[in-house]
Amino acid sequence: MITRSATPLLAEKRVAHLHDFPLACGRDLERVTIGYETYGRLNADRSNAILVCHFFSGTSHAAGVYHPEDALPGWWDPVIGPGKAIDTDRDFVIAMDALGCVRKDHPHGLTTGPATVDPVSGQPYGPDFPPLVVSDTVRAHRQVLRQLGITRLKAIVGPSYGAMQALEWATRFPDEVEAVVAAIGLEGFQAREIGLYHLMEQAIRRDPAFRNGRYSADTPPSEGLGLAIGLMLWSSSGRAQMVDTFGRRSAAPGRNPAKEPTARWAIEEWLSQEMGVRAGFVDANAWIAMLRTCMAWDLAEGFGSLERAVSAIQARVLLLPALGDELVDMAHHHDRLVATFHATGKTVEVAPLPERFGHLAGLVDIGLASDALRTFLNEE
Amino acid sequence: MITRSATPLLAEKRVAHLHDFPLACGRDLERVTIGYETYGRLNADRSNAILVCHFFSGTSHAAGVYHPEDALPGWWDPVIGPGKAIDTDRDFVIAMDALGCVRKDHPHGLTTGPATVDPVSGQPYGPDFPPLVVSDTVRAHRQVLRQLGITRLKAIVGPSYGAMQALEWATRFPDEVEAVVAAIGLEGFQAREIGLYHLMEQAIRRDPAFRNGRYSADTPPSEGLGLAIGLMLWSSSGRAQMVDTFGRRSAAPGRNPAKEPTARWAIEEWLSQEMGVRAGFVDANAWIAMLRTCMAWDLAEGFGSLERAVSAIQARVLLLPALGDELVDMAHHHDRLVATFHATGKTVEVAPLPERFGHLAGLVDIGLASDALRTFLNEE
């Protein structure tokens, strides 16, 4: 699924700093650190900057490799690089960590969030980190871009949580972004999604090792966190891919889970392995904070209605929904968003991703959107 | 949603016993107790018996009330009773507990399962209860029916897990059942459903109070069990109903979960309450056993293919799928089952339930299927 060019893009993590950053909740962050990566070069009139925003558990490592021998490139490498849909020979691409980025294996220190040290107390924020909303990350990214001399973006692109940021930006700062590519995105969390994320949060909170967020680095709530991750993985994976890959196979040949108490199904073994491995890469408090940021997200917030929010958008918009998405149901989110664009007299382009990988098509199958993405970014 | 007739049907729990009952796994149960209820009267030629099979967390209390002042009647009361679709003035209705019934608040003792006492050890079976498959319950019910003098059924009806039993019976003992009504049913668990049930099982197993199933009655794994129940409730509830009922409302007026760390959304409060209450009614080992029975279920088992299994059915079949079902996806299960009936030259009748309540339409909205059910049972 992941294509590698013959000479991979070399990525380097950089860090930007903000001071006394005001959050939507009313509290300030005295110091903010944000990790980012850039690919390509900013042109003389600073008109070729494309911001890439990451998904729930992603980071700013969107493309390329840190070292030629890295096993895997960044998460949207199939569409970011020299000659690719987001062409780094032509455009200057900036990928930035969201505030509260959940990864704790960041190669050059952490982007500010629950796992980082509160400069006031000298201790990690932990559960005391203030609640974040999507617009906090949007405003933080905007300040970092200004430090880089960028006041207007050619495009903002991203999948899932990244799509939320891209849409939010287009409504909040409509004259600063020319184009938006929202992959596997939605217009706001509704009761069904909030309920699922509540269960993920409960999976972590009910692990006694969580200790109300006061766990130590040595004894994190790995069991609860793994369960939450399993739920995210299950709900974002495609039905077709799960059925094709695992079907009703036993995890071990010759053993029958229908008749042997200790035998397991192949899908169970896969989930268990992923839950164990992935829990080691993320911080539980940060994961909960990101869940709550998503639950809170509503594009209509501050506008009174989705129609008014969409009316504010000046950017051209390309949506890349996934046909098999069961986390962000197309009929209830994508269709509503498209209908609202039409109702407000705006055009919107749509290029659906195939069904097979479910929500994760926005990552796994993004290369299949190369032509649509290239054409859209080259228009005008 | 639930209709009450002026003079409610009075229900009474009875108990049947079996001895040295052989299970599909190869082990025997020395003694089996099965709770059941009957409504109406068996006619002289014993041709009016209808078996009602219950859903995952249901019991044989399918209709009526134990006392006139009971708050709620049995779970399919809208369609079982005098003059109702399943007319107890005409038919003799038997509702039976499945083996391993998960409820521990049974009014007259437990149907044999993990929470009951192993006559060999004198202790509750707990995690040592042998693995059950759907055909075990079907064969046990068949023996109980023979004790009642019934060798042929006018119909077998039931929702969800009950539909699995009805379909299984029709393939295993095709000349003993004249009609099948399978509501919100499926032809077998596939990787996606097995994965979800694995996560529910893990929610229980990862609760330290579970102690590998050796918990005491006083300290059950309520947190993990509640989480598993929350997952079942979320996945079987309807998207439309959740959005309409809870939307993006805060649990408390004037409080904003997007900005206040301790504020919660209305859907969260509802889930938390249900998780807490419902965990008190069921046994954790029994819940896991039922999950694994479902994971194992495949109508094709023993036939080599779904086509051959369906070919074996002689009964007339009515399917009542739910249009908004996201637990048993219609496009991947119901449609496959219908296509298989057609491919084998069999007729099958279909009367869809409305979208609103999701999978739970098979319980909440069953009254809307009254006409279809009545017509189907009166045919021939």
User: Which of B207, B258, B267 lies at the smallest CB-CB distance from A198?
Assistant: B267
Q: Is the CA virtual torsion B264, B268, B270, B272 positive or negative? A: negative
Tell me whether residue B214 is exposed, middle or buried, using C-beta atoms within 10 angstroms of its C-beta: 0 to 12, 13 to 18, 19 or more.
exposed
Residues B156, B18: one domain? yes
Region of poorest pLDDT, from A214-223, A358-367, B106-115: B106-115
The torsion of the CA quartet B329, B333, B334, B339, rounded to 10 degrees, works out to: 140
Residues B210, B180: one domain? no
Q: Please say whether the beta carbons of B364 and B1 come within 8 A.
A: yes
Average of per-residue pLDDT across A155-171: 98
Residues A171, A221: one domain? no
Q: DSSP for B293-305? A: HHHH-BTTTTTSS
- Quick check: is A316 in a domain? yes
Kindly provide the residue ranges of all beta strands, DSSP E only, lying in A146-275, ordered along the sequence.
155-159, 179-183
pLDDT of A190 higher than 90: yes
The boundaries of the domain holding residue A238 are 194-290
User: Which of B26, B207, B295 lies at the smallest CB-CB distance from A265?
Assistant: B295
Q: Please say whether the beta carbons of A32 and A109 come within 8 A.
A: no
The CATH number linked to B201 is 1.10.1740.110
Q: Taking the CA of residue A270 as centre, how many other CA atoms within 13 Å lie in the half-sphere pointing to its CB?
A: 21
Average of per-residue pLDDT across A115-124: 91
Residues A116, A67: one domain? yes
- Quick check: is A165 in a domain? yes
CA distance B336 to A315: 44
Closest alpha carbon to B325 in B193, B166, B158, B170: B193
Residues A247, A129: one domain? no
- Quick check: is A306 in a domain? yes
Q: Is the CA virtual torsion B159, B164, B170, B172 positive or negative? A: negative
The CA–CA distances, whole Å, from B282 to A210, B104, B218 equal 26, 5, 13
Q: What is the pTM of this model?
A: 0.96
Per-residue pLDDT at A104: 84
CA distance B99 to B290: 9
Closest alpha carbon to B74 in B114, B115, B36, B116: B36
Per-residue pLDDT at A110: 80
Residues B235, B340: one domain? no
CA distance A237 to B196: 12
Q: Please say whether the beta carbons of B193 and B327 come within 8 A.
A: yes
The DSSP call for residue A35 is: E
- Looking at B290, B317, B338, the residue that finishes a domain is B290
CA distance B227 to B230: 5
User: Which of A267, A296, A329 lies at the smallest CB-CB distance from B239?
Assistant: A329
Q: Is the CA virtual torsion A232, A234, A239, A241 positive or negative? A: positive
Q: Do A191 and B131 touch (CB under 8 A)?
A: no
Residues B265, B368: one domain? no
Average of per-residue pLDDT across A310-316: 98
Name the band, by pLDDT with cuts 50, 70 and 90, for residue A379: confident
Average of per-residue pLDDT across A176-202: 98
Residues B110, B244: one domain? no
Per-residue pLDDT at A329: 86
Q: Please say whether the beta carbons of A284 and A342 come within 8 A.
A: no
Q: Please say whether the beta carbons of A228 and A210 come within 8 A.
A: no
Give the end-to-end CA distance of chain A in Å, rounded to a whole number: 31
Residues A22, A158: one domain? yes
**When comparing pLDDT for A331 and B202, which is higher?**
B202
- Looking at B255, B290, B325, the residue that finishes a domain is B290
Domain count, chain B: 2
User: Which of A24, A206, A242 lies at the smallest CB-CB distance from B195?
Assistant: A242
pLDDT of A1 higher than 90: no
Residues in contact with A107: Cβ distance below 8 Å, sequence separation at least 6, in sequence order: A13, A66
Residues B319, B223: one domain? no
- Three-state DSSP class for A134? helix
Instruction: Give the mutation candidate from B207, B249, B259 for the A interface (greatest A CB count, under 10 A).
Output: B259
Catalytic option among B57, B135, B160, B311: B160
Task: Residue A298: list chain B partners with CB under 8 A.
Answer: 248
- Quick check: is A107 in a domain? yes
ipTM for the predicted complex: 0.96
Task: Residue A243: list chain B partners with CB under 8 A.
Answer: 190-192, 332
Per-residue pLDDT at A107: 61
Per-residue pLDDT at B1: 44
pLDDT digits (tens, 9 = 90+) for A272-309: 999 999 999 999 999 999 999 999 999 999 999 999 99
Q: Do A224 and B247 touch (CB under 8 A)?
A: no
Per-residue pLDDT at A330: 87
Closest alpha carbon within chain B to A292 = B258
- Please state, for a pLDDT cut of 90, what percent of chain A lies above it: 92
- Quick check: is B9 in a domain? no
Q: Two tokens at B322? A: 């739910």
- Quick check: is A4 in a domain? no
Cβ of A231: how many Cβ atoms within 10 Å? 24
Residues A58, A106: one domain? yes
The CA–CA distances, whole Å, from A97 to A16, A133, B375 equal 10, 14, 61
pLDDT of A24 higher than 80: yes
Per-residue pLDDT at A334: 94
Task: Supply the residues of A annotated as catalytic.
Answer: 160, 325, 359
- Three-state DSSP class for A188? strand
- Three-state DSSP class for A34? strand
Strands A86-87, A316-320: pairing is: unpaired
Q: Two tokens at B248? A: 């993006």
Say whether B333 is catalytic.
no
Q: Do B258 and A133 touch (CB under 8 A)?
A: yes
Catalytic option among B77, B207, B325, B365: B325
- Quick check: is B5 in a domain? no
CA distance A247 to A266: 8
Residues A124, A223: one domain? no
Residues in contact with B162: Cβ distance below 8 Å, sequence separation at least 6, in sequence order: B52, B53, B54, B55, B58, B183
pLDDT of A8 higher than 90: no
The CATH number linked to A79 is 3.40.50.1820
- Cα B130 from chain centroid? 20
Tell me whether residue A312 is exposed, middle or buried, using C-beta atoms within 10 angstroms of its C-beta: 0 to 12, 13 to 18, 19 or more.
middle
Name the band, by pLDDT with cuts 50, 70 and 90, for residue A151: very high
**Which residue positions in chain B have pLDDT lower than 70?**
1-7, 107-109, 380
- Quick check: is B8 in a domain? no
Average of per-residue pLDDT across A328-336: 91
Tell me whether residue B237 is exposed, middle or buried, using C-beta atoms within 10 angstroms of its C-beta: 0 to 12, 13 to 18, 19 or more.
buried
Per-residue pLDDT at B249: 96
- Looking at B290, B312, B331, the residue that finishes a domain is B290
pLDDT digits (tens, 9 = 90+) for B50-107: 999 999 999 999 999 999 999 999 999 999 999 999 999 999 999 999 999 898 877 6
A220 phi and psi, to 5 degrees? -70, 160
pLDDT digits (tens, 9 = 90+) for B314-363: 999 999 999 999 999 888 899 999 999 999 999 999 999 999 999 999 99
The CA–CA distances, whole Å, from B258 to A289, A301, B65, B271 equal 11, 10, 44, 19
pLDDT digits (tens, 9 = 90+) for A78-87: 999 999 999 9
Name the helix (H) or strand (E) containing B318.
strand B316-320
